[in-house]
A and B are shown apart, each in its own frame.
Chain A
């Protein structure tokens, strides 16, 4: 049986841990709201971009001059995986599941004889991949210390990817990130960015009752500008989803940590009271038997 003093110290330390976890939970909850709002605000642009891209792609598809970002380099040999994680931990399995998914995908691609290159976004992912798959790493990006992710951050990343595609360094680009489904569930998603998946239905023609768009300047020029922009917005969307997912995951993790700490405090307090009462009883017995002996 631990001494009363030892129990008291433990109760106090668990209590302060609980204070920290519950504060972190509150902070994560408020950051989550902000991140979610930001993710929602980016949606209109992405939707309209998709509509335009659909209209354009439909009219360029099949032409030999189609840009590489749309149709790829024509090979499937070198895969670039972009793993999006957070910069911080204490968020349950959030970062680990991305790491694991990336590792599985890398192993699978390599088993098929492909070459894999890795780009890590976020400190946690970088650390994990450096440990496990360091020979495939070609770089990392971190947004640590930024209050919010700006579109220009995604643009820079998109420029880097575009340069690699144009130089023929990579053939296929896949993004691995946590999709924000709800506060309770973030789903690890693998999304192919290049060659760009053509939006379903390329529905512009329906919206116009069969009429087609005129382009100014020509389709190819517009497309050569629109595609990098589309890549940037896709990356931006993934970064925002991932950041909302991170806070959701952190909130859930901290919530259960707070609850566990509560349970522990209850158990320790019970032990403490038992020990205290046992002490009192023992002292009483000592006094009574002392008095009887006289």
Chain B
């Protein structure tokens, strides 16, 4: 009983195939999606997407945040970028973290929307470093 998983970035359709189960990093905790899930629209934080074949993780991708639309038969992930975990590098994660922290320090944090965006960026960079380390 597969879920039709689609991962799309603005630049291309990254992945589109039926999978047994997928775990996505929703903003309020990881979420496993099986067939027949209740329809949802969720925001994603930076973190890994785990694609399961049977009981095993067959593929891991890192997303830096985005949105997901879940219906009974499909799961569509809109991500700005999705990188296979094997291609992640810790150095890149740290570089982004440094950049994000610098942006946070420089920005005017009195505006809650800007603050949220920047905090999300820091979180996403941290997650990237962690995932890269395994």
Q: For the complex, give the distance between the alpha carbons of A222 and B116 in Å.
A: 12
CB pair B78 A217 closer than 8 Å: no
Shortest distance between the CB of A72 and any CB in chain B (Å): 18
B105 within 8 Å of A (CB atoms): no
CB pair B10 A233 closer than 8 Å: yes
A257 within 8 Å of B (CB atoms): no
Write out, one digit per residue, whether chain A residues 190-218 have a CB within 8 A of any chain B CB (1) or not (0): 00000000000000000110011111110
- Residue of B at shortest CB range from A209? B72
Write out, one digit per residue, whether chain B residues 11-33 have a CB within 8 A of any chain A CB (1) or not (0): 11100000000000011100000
CB pair B43 A216 closer than 8 Å: yes
CB pair A45 B40 closer than 8 Å: no
- Residue of B at shortest CB range from A226? B67
B94 within 8 Å of A (CB atoms): no
Q: How large is the interface on A (under 10, 10 to 19, 20 to 34, 35 or more residues)?
A: 20 to 34
CB pair A51 B38 closer than 8 Å: no
Residues in B neighbouring A207, C-beta threshold 8 A: 71
Shortest distance between the CB of B75 and any CB in chain A (Å): 11
Residues in B neighbouring A233, C-beta threshold 8 A: 10
CB pair A45 B9 closer than 8 Å: yes
CB pair B41 A55 closer than 8 Å: yes
B10 contact from A45, A51, A56, Cβ within 8 A: A45
CB pair B39 A211 closer than 8 Å: yes
Q: For the complex, give the distance between the alpha carbons of A115 and B11 in Å.
A: 35
A221 contact from B10, B13, B40, B43, Cβ within 8 A: B43
B80 within 8 Å of A (CB atoms): yes
Q: For the complex, give the distance between the alpha carbons of A168 and B27 in Å.
A: 30
B69 contact from A51, A151, A212, A217, Cβ within 8 A: A51
Q: For the complex, give the distance between the alpha carbons of A244 and B26 in Å.
A: 36
Residues in A neighbouring B76, C-beta threshold 8 A: 48
Residues in A neighbouring B9, C-beta threshold 8 A: 45, 151
Residues in A neighbouring B11, C-beta threshold 8 A: 38, 41-42, 45, 150-151
A66 within 8 Å of B (CB atoms): no
CB pair B78 A215 closer than 8 Å: no
Q: For the complex, give the distance between the alpha carbons of A213 and B71 in Å.
A: 8
Write out, one digit per residue, whether chain A residues 70-101 have a CB within 8 A of any chain B CB (1) or not (0): 00000000000000000000000000000000
Residues in B neighbouring A216, C-beta threshold 8 A: 26-28, 40-43
Q: List 19 A-B contacts (CB under 8 A).
A: A42-B11, A42-B12, A44-B12, A44-B13, A45-B13, A48-B8, A48-B78, A52-B69, A55-B41, A150-B11, A151-B10, A151-B11, A207-B71, A208-B72, A212-B39, A214-B39, A214-B40, A216-B42, A222-B42
